Structure 1
Amino acid sequence: MSIGAGQLTYDEISAQAEALQSAWEQLQQQSDWVNKYIGNSAYEEVVFIGSGSSYYQALTMAATFRKWTGRSATAYPSSELFLFREQTLNVNKKLLIVGVSRSGESHEVIIALDSFKDVSNWDHCGITCHETSKMAQMTACLVSPLGKEKSTVMTKSLSSMTFMMQAAIAVAAGKANFTQELEQVLASDAVIVREADLSAKAWVQSHNFTRTVFLGMGAYGGLSLEACLKLKEMTCTWTEAYGTLEFRHGPKSIIEPGAQVVLLLSESAREYELKVAREMKGYGATLVIVTAAAGDDTAFADLVVEVGGASISDEARSVLYLPWIQYNGYYTAMKLGLNPDDPRNLTQFVEI
């Protein structure tokens, strides 16, 4: 029996709670990986690399690593590493390069990992959803077992891989509170997914926008880029992403009535970010705020999406922001008569 347009994407977004739980259980079996790689203090810096969505989640991984371990970490597009090595990284430092790839077949990640065989003080590892992939064969990988997807766009794979790496970082940090925070995320994710489904569906059915801008800072900087890409991939519509406060320095000129601004609100910079949101509202934007908790300070928004977890860190809360973002892209695509399972010009991984 044929599968209807969008069914793969919908099912995969809806299954991310199970994918997170599976990743959590798998990590318990790969504790040696943590000790050998990101938990190894011999590395002066950990470098996460990926392409597209994988690069955006690498940004969140790096931000989490810096905050939770107090050690140096960065994230770069894979191509920067093999095309501009000296401009990107210090060849004299002892580095760990972490490849991030859902399929484990992304040509740019594989070429990047293969490109520094001549650098004796660099090591590599990875994270993927496919244990038999080329990347998994060339380097030791964490594997998100239920992150595998049939749809082109990344949804539960991104959520589960981000969560799994954060869980590994929590172990590497050696601080029980971070692990406890992630356990809270696990316990609440299924409910957040169901609520996001209902909220995004109602929102998309009752609104139309000429353009959408996603804003985020800190651990949510990478998420805002991912949110932008999700909507662009599924709907082929005009959308951009910026650092929240950076948006005020020129780009805000694009805001006018008919524009939608989606703010991924942190608790760390809540007051400052809400000042930007109020300013955009004043320019005529329709404002969505995705936040740990609504309050009197968010009452001016057109829609407030609560994901809970106000008592945990911004980093741990990251994956709870993803369901609404993903359903928003899905329902917008369906409203436009597009098939989010098979977006125009896209494939699951890019070949060079």
Structure 2
Amino acid sequence: MREIKQQPEVWQELALNIEAARTEIEVFLAPLLESSDLRIILTGAGTSAFIGEIAAPALAKSLRTRVDAVATTDLVSNPTQYFAEELPTLLVSFARSGNSPESIAATDLAEELLGRHLVHHLVVTCDPAGKLAMKHGDQQNSFVVLMPAEANDEGFAMTSSFTSMLLACLLIFNGRNDQAIQALSAAVSNILSAKEKDVEQLAHRAGDKIVYLGSGSLTGLARESALKLLELTAGQVITYFDSALGFRHGPKAVIDEATLVIVFVSSDHYTSRYDIDIVSELRRDLGDDHVVTISVSPAGTVDAPGWVLEGLADLDDAYLAAAYVVFAQLFGLHCSLRLGAAPDNPFPDGDVNRVVKGVTIHPLSTVQ
């Protein structure tokens, strides 16, 4: 709970740290962003990969350049496919510890296949002593951005590390945004002080099948929210995620009378129409109490169960995800407690680990 509740304060410190390093960041990035054929790859494993899925649409729009979100688990297992184009490439690696085997391997494979002259690395991580930070800290083609010390979560599930690295990415590429950080901090402080009991009650009446839906950047958030619940309950709650439009194309078969659907409603007026459409449809199918919305305006609640986060209506969905996910974090925590799991260590037998184990990195030269 401490690592969930500390997030507004951590974000404030993060924003100050990014601004303190702004000149160095711009010296590193500016020449790269001037390249008309630059490819930016946002990567990480698990929750860290979902940061890229959330941020990529927003960055592609603001930077007017190609931004791909590709997990390290895909880059490492299929490197010749994902590094097939000989283009100037900025590999942005997100990692809480930087000790996952795929983290280092992805950066090595990029250089092996594209050549160091084409590859630059931006490492966004929470652990200054992690392998990824240590490897790239003194390389000329790399720049390491460290999160505040508090963001290096001690618990099993990533919470403040996830939101801090997401916001760091947006602040690094889109520039200073004090208004967004202040608005997000205020909204989340309100959630933690005024809404936690409501979230706890929702967790106690929820069944064992939860679906998260979101559009655009919020599809990545739906994926992260589903994983958070699955992790914190040690798999006792079955979770699913999809986009608002994609859900109808087969995955809707997952719902039954015991399903709870949580919909993250976009702040974009056009996109939100599709979110509201699926909310209305699912409430006809399941009943109002089985579909909950999280939105930034009363229209997003569709006159039925939901929470409205005030003061965030002007934010892009990628920023909004940092506030929305706090609902998912709290919901996962209270579901875990209800089921008698241990949120800080839901897998005491070590079947699933905080830092992944059991991965063998195979040399690419052995198969070429």
TM (norm. structure 1) is 0.89
**Are the aligned partners of 1:37 and 1:96 in contact in 2 as well (CA < 8 Å)?**
no
Q: Which has the higher helix share?
A: 2
Identity %: 23
**Are the aligned partners of 1:294 and 1:306 in contact in 2 as well (CA < 8 Å)?**
no
Pairing 1:194-205 to 2, within 5 Å after superposition: 194-205=193-204
C-alpha separation between the residues in 1 aligned to 2:298 and 2:65?
33
C-alpha separation between the residues in 2 aligned to 1:84 and 1:228?
25
C-alpha separation between the residues in 1 aligned to 2:194 and 2:161?
20
State the Cα distance separating 1:242 from its structure 2 match.
Answer: 0.5
Q: What is aligned with 1:347? A: 353
Asked if 1:325 corresponds to 2:323, the answer is: no
Report which stretch shifted further, 323-332 or 208-217.
208-217
Match of 1:64 among 58, 61, 71: 58
Q: What is aligned with 1:23? A: 14
Give the secondary structure class of the aligned counterpart of 2:155: coil
State the Cα distance separating 1:104 from its structure 2 match.
Answer: 1.5
Report which stretch shifted further, 323-332 or 157-166.
157-166
Pairing 1:166-315 to 2, within 5 Å after superposition: 166-171=170-175, 180-205=179-204, 207-235=205-233, 236=235, 237-268=237-268, 269-284=271-286, 286-295=290-299, 298-306=301-309, 308-315=311-318
Q: What is aligned with 1:7? A: none
**Are the aligned partners of 1:216 and 1:224 in contact in 2 as well (CA < 8 Å)?**
yes
**Are the aligned partners of 1:17 and 1:193 in contact in 2 as well (CA < 8 Å)?**
no
**Are the aligned partners of 1:152 and 1:346 in contact in 2 as well (CA < 8 Å)?**
no
**Are the aligned partners of 1:216 and 1:243 in contact in 2 as well (CA < 8 Å)?**
yes
C-alpha separation between the residues in 2 aligned to 1:322 and 1:114?
32
C-alpha separation between the residues in 2 aligned to 1:302 and 1:130?
40
State the Cα distance separating 1:304 from its structure 2 match.
Answer: 3.0
Asked if 1:41 corresponds to 2:33, the answer is: yes
Give the secondary structure class of the aligned counterpart of 1:162: helix
Q: What is aligned with 2:127? A: 130
State the Cα distance separating 1:37 from its structure 2 match.
Answer: 4.5
Give the secondary structure class of the aligned counterpart of 1:240: strand
Report which stretch shifted further, 24-33 or 75-84.
24-33
C-alpha separation between the residues in 1 aligned to 2:77 and 2:332?
33
State the Cα distance separating 1:82 from its structure 2 match.
Answer: 2.5
C-alpha separation between the residues in 2 aligned to 1:142 and 1:195?
34
**Are the aligned partners of 1:167 and 1:179 in contact in 2 as well (CA < 8 Å)?**
no
**Are the aligned partners of 1:12 and 1:155 in contact in 2 as well (CA < 8 Å)?**
yes
**Are the aligned partners of 2:294 and 2:301 in contact in 1 as well (CA < 8 Å)?**
no
State the Cα distance separating 1:14 from its structure 2 match.
Answer: 0.9
C-alpha separation between the residues in 2 aligned to 1:80 and 1:316?
26
**Are the aligned partners of 1:102 and 1:130 in contact in 2 as well (CA < 8 Å)?**
yes
State the Cα distance separating 1:26 from its structure 2 match.
Answer: 1.2
Give the secondary structure class of the aligned counterpart of 1:283: helix
Q: What is aligned with 2:365? A: none
State the Cα distance separating 1:307 from its structure 2 match.
Answer: 5.3
Letter in 1 for 2:131: K
C-alpha separation between the residues in 2 aligned to 1:306 and 1:49?
29
Asked if 1:155 corresponds to 2:149, the answer is: no
Unaligned runs of 5+ in 2: 137-142, 360-368
Count of aligned residue pairs for this structure pair: 336
**Are the aligned partners of 2:209 and 2:238 in contact in 1 as well (CA < 8 Å)?**
yes
**Are the aligned partners of 2:41 and 2:69 in contact in 1 as well (CA < 8 Å)?**
yes
TM-superposition CA deviations, 1:114-133 (whole Å, max 9, x none): 22333221221210111121
C-alpha separation between the residues in 1 aligned to 2:259 and 2:50?
24
TM-superposition CA deviations, 1:255-306 (whole Å, max 9, x none): 22111001011022111111111111121150110111223x6244333343
Give the secondary structure class of the aligned counterpart of 1:266: coil
TM (norm. structure 2) is 0.86
C-alpha separation between the residues in 2 aligned to 1:54 and 1:128?
10
**Are the aligned partners of 2:183 and 2:311 in contact in 1 as well (CA < 8 Å)?**
no
Q: 1:133 to 1:273 in 2, by over 3 A?
A: same
State the Cα distance separating 1:79 from its structure 2 match.
Answer: 2.3
Q: What is aligned with 1:6? A: none
Q: What is aligned with 1:83? A: 77
**Are the aligned partners of 2:267 and 2:315 in contact in 1 as well (CA < 8 Å)?**
no
**Are the aligned partners of 2:207 and 2:260 in contact in 1 as well (CA < 8 Å)?**
yes
TM-superposition CA deviations, 1:93-148 (whole Å, max 9, x none): 11000111011211111111122333221221210111121111122321111201
Q: 1:116 to 1:315 in 2, by over 3 A?
A: closer
Pairing 1:87-166 to 2, within 5 Å after superposition: 87-118=81-112, 119-120=114-115, 121-139=118-136, 140-145=143-148, 146-166=150-170
State the Cα distance separating 1:190 from its structure 2 match.
Answer: 2.3
Q: 1:137 to 1:20 in 2, by over 3 A?
A: same
Give the secondary structure class of the aligned counterpart of 1:317: helix
Give the secondary structure class of the aligned counterpart of 2:68: strand
Q: 1:300 to 1:259 in 2, by over 3 A?
A: farther
With CA pairs under 8 Å and 6+ residues apart, which has the higher RCO, 1 or 2?
1
State the Cα distance separating 1:187 from its structure 2 match.
Answer: 4.3
Unaligned runs of 5+ in 1: 1-9
